[in-house]
Amino acid sequence: MLDKPPGITSNRALQQVKRMFAARKAGHGGTLDEPAEGCLPIMFGSHTKLAEYMLDSSKVYECDIELGSTRTTGDATGDLIEEKPVPPLDAAKLESCLSKFRGEIMQRPPAYSALKYQGKRMHEYARAGIAVSRIARKVTISELILLGMKDNHIMLRMTCSRGTYVRSLAEDIGEFFGCGAHVYTLRRTEMSTLPVKYLVTLQQIEATPEEERDSLLLPEMHIKVSNDKIYINLEQAKELSQGKQVILPEGEDVKLASIYIKDETELDNSQLFGMGSLEDKTLRKEKHLMNVI
């Protein structure tokens, strides 16, 4: 899992990693804006099939929001639109504000976003000076915590659903206090169920000899799209590969689980087979990463 640096696009980071691993096929699991940094899952080969699940997963961000100034892009890279004095703030006032944005809310995407409107990206209209309708969408912010405040900056940690824009949250907070705001810095600290201890930088990859770079990859047992795990044997994996259903007498119903071919000698060496659901003791394959014949 890549610790993307600020200042480069997610696609550029992907291409650099793809080159360093000499991979034929690669993809990433969730775009980070160019100024943002942090967790960017990079997948190779058949594991690119996991991208859609990564996109749907919850994310955790830590951000520094600067109050008192509004910018075109909603972050520090944009042109200054307006500056206003910041009212006196304390923890109680900030908590009153943050409570408005916890839970399921309606949020308008920023003008500078990759969302499409009539076949074109919204940021294309914004750069051309054309205003388009930004329809509010339902998102969920399950956690929004004040980490600290200094001068006109507030530091927050948030856990949110797919489609949530931190830049929009910053603008909404600025509107709440009547002074405007934008994202000063942003870091994605967690994504999905992937363990952050395996984060590596581009510099670490580059410094690792080519023949040893596979040691930087996330172990199979930690690649998961759900906290639910189902273990099967090799024969059951063959049946799933052939499109058959597998009966698991002891299994409990689960909508989405990571399916592993169990290593009987060392559980941590179990291999990720794919994703599936279990209903009425019947295991159904949703997507598999490998064929077993």
HSE of 264 in the Cβ direction (CA atoms, 13 Å)?
Answer: 2
Judge contact between 158 and 63, C-beta under 8 A. yes
Tell me which residue of 150, 139, 67 sits closest to 110, measured CA to CA: 139
Tell me which residue of 212, 173, 204 sits closest to 65, measured CA to CA: 173
Is 79 one of the catalytic residues? Answer: no
Q: Which of 3, 33, 64, 75 does the annotation list as catalytic?
A: 33
Classify the phi-psi angles of 77: left when phi > 0, otherwise alpha if psi is within -120 to 50, otherwise beta: alpha
Tell me which residue of 107, 104, 102 sits closest to 137, measured CA to CA: 107
- Both tokens of residue 7? 């200042």
Sequential DSSP letters for 33-77? -TT-EEEE-EEEGGGGGGHHHHHHS-EEEEEEEEETEEETTSBTT
DSSP state of 114: S
Place of tokens 């640096």: 5
Residue numbers annotated as active site: 33
